[in-house]
Amino acid sequence: MTLLTIENLSMKIGAVEILHDVSMSVAPGEILGVIGESGSGKSMTAFSVMQLLPDAATCTGAITLASTDILAASESDLCTIRGNDVGMVFQEPMTALNPVKNIGDQVAETIRIHEPGVSKAEALARAREALDRCELPEDRFPLTRYPHEMSGGQRQRVVIAMAIARHPKLLIADEPTTALDVTTQAEILTLLKRLVTEDNMGLMMITHDLAVVSDMADHIVIMKDGEVVEEGPAATLYKDMQHPYTKALFEASSHQPDRNAPLKSPPLLQVKGLIRDYTLPREKLLKAPGKFRAVNDVSFEIRRGESLGLVGESGCGKSTLTRAILGLEAIQDGEIILDGAPLFTEGGVNPMARRKMQVVFQDPYGSFNPRWKVARLITEPFHLLDNPPTGLAFETAVDQALISVGLTPDDKHKYIHEFSGGQRQRIAIARALITRPDLIILDEAVSALDVSVRAQVLDLLAELSEKHGLTYLFISHDLSVVRTITDRVLVMKAGEIVEKGETESVFDTPQHPYTKALIAAAPRLPDDSPADIKETA
């Protein structure tokens, strides 16, 4: 007996075909993992089930939910089904809740919409139960809490409570943990599994991350370009995957770029006893404002040619540390020395030290001015130089930078919206390379990229490091990526470095309890996956 059946579903938005001949099914109590990269149509499949598609979308095929034909249902029937028979959890917990309503009202709304006869008090009582089930106890999370008073993981629990308040038969979770830290991710996944078992609910779990579903899904569907390319029971799919794309995806997830460990070389960057305080808003008009210590007595060094990882969860101070090293913010105590020269001198940031480093940020969309052409974008760091190249030298520098990141010189005349996410990140790297710096800070530089694109960018970084003798400070919340590309790693928690050491030894034998917790929480691919995938990929 299946709960949800999708048969030969095709969906068009205007004339563009988004989904082609997609079929899958979910049984009660079953977890279906739907895996794919951005643009694969995995979210659109979920929204087709909910029929929450853009106005111009048309579906053909069949979607049957417990004997109801979804595609034939009227809008008012669909409103009865949404929230009642199907619940949905979204990727962005920070924005998925209405900021001006308290959590009690928002969870109770699901109940009151579908049971108009229920009194407000009773709906709130049942909202309380739903929140309790999602492990938000009353003493710490009363119904009168507002979303802005909660963390991302807690908000995601509220979203889940809203989705399960009416005990739906099917729960659709669209990248429910992508925006969360690893330890929070592990907790949310455990919660979802428990709810599935308790309610005998079907779960359609959409993700880009193979590892996330590997130990929870019963059945897995792999999608690419709006089509299902491979499917099978989770237990066997990882072992005998057939489709080349699946193998490529699998290989990319655990991709290990070729790189040589650096020789013992002198330190390039030294950070000594760094302290960074933030001034809190004034409580009272005449009272001195309070302080928050974001980075507390941090010391480390990076040797020339080395790749150093910095891991930690959101709010641990890693971004603050990055901004301090880049000289973007004044520091309260400590020293930053780059290639023997102090970064902060009497007159402010020392330009001699500053020009030796560049940065690549996470967001390949937001870190470019959309009105500038690529040539102007990537040559912006020239302002750091005393004699920036002009004329032919300028053109050559641009061409070389673009070629070195795998783009063509013609790309310099284009605008940033003409490129894909991976290409944009290449342009960001070109921008960082153009002044020939010694140190490049990669602040979550590959976190927003699809796994296959991420693998390419990691290869590029390894290659550039060999070629130009670059040193990397690699900041990420993603442990698996840090493991593949760094020589040494620092683990940061609450503004302090709690553990440091060779990457392999830290990952294999973590000493600090926090490091242990982080590594235990990180999702992992099954170890018994085929060994020959590298050749076919």
Partner 1 sequence: MFRYILKRLQALVISLIIASLVIFAAVEVVPGDPASFMLGINAQEDTIMALREQLGLNVSLWERYFTWVTGMVQGDFGTSYTYRTPVSDMIAERMVISLPLALYALTLSTLIAFPAGIIAATRRGSVADVSVMGVTQLGVAIPNFWFAMLMVVVFAINLGWFSAGGFPGWDAGFFAAMKALTLPAIALALPQASILARVMRSSLLDTLSEDYIRTARAKGLTRRQALWRHALRNALIPVLTIIGLQFAFLLAGGIIIEKVFFLPGLGQLIFQAITQRDLIVVESVVMLLVFAVILVNFAVDLAYGIADPRLRRART
Residues that bind partner 1 (CB under 8 A): 50, 52, 75-76, 79-84, 87-88, 90, 92, 95-102, 109-110, 113-114, 146, 148, 159, 162-163, 281, 285
Shortest spacing between CB 109 and partner 1, in angstroms: 6
| Residue closer to partner 1 (CB basis): 176 or 422 | 176
- Range list of β-strands (E), 27-169: 31-35, 57-65, 68-69, 86-89
| Residue closer to partner 1 (CB basis): 96 or 118 | 96
Shortest spacing between CB 100 and partner 1, in angstroms: 5
The residue among 319, 215, 305, 314 whose CA lies nearest residue 268 is 305
> Residue 137 CA to chain centroid, in angstroms?
28
Shortest spacing between CB 494 and partner 1, in angstroms: 23
Shortest spacing between CB 365 and partner 1, in angstroms: 17
| Residue closer to partner 1 (CB basis): 90 or 250 | 90
Cα dist from 140 to 132, 136, 187, 195, whole Å: 11, 7, 18, 21
| Contact of 23 with 230, CB cutoff 8 Å | no
Shortest spacing between CB 37 and partner 1, in angstroms: 21
Shortest spacing between CB 73 and partner 1, in angstroms: 13
Distant-in-sequence, close-in-space partners of 165: CB < 8 Å, separation ≥ 6:
87, 107, 108, 110, 111, 126, 127, 130
The residue among 227, 226, 174 whose CA lies nearest residue 18 is 226
- For residue 512 the two structure tokens come to 């600090």
| Residue closer to partner 1 (CB basis): 87 or 523 | 87
| Residue closer to partner 1 (CB basis): 18 or 159 | 159
CB atoms under 10 Å from CB of 306, counted, come to 24
Tell me the C-alpha distance between 383 and 385, whole Å. Answer: 5
| Residue closer to partner 1 (CB basis): 50 or 252 | 50
Give the three-class secondary structure for 455.
helix
Strands 267-279 and 86-89: unpaired
| Residue closer to partner 1 (CB basis): 50 or 188 | 50
Shortest spacing between CB 202 and partner 1, in angstroms: 16
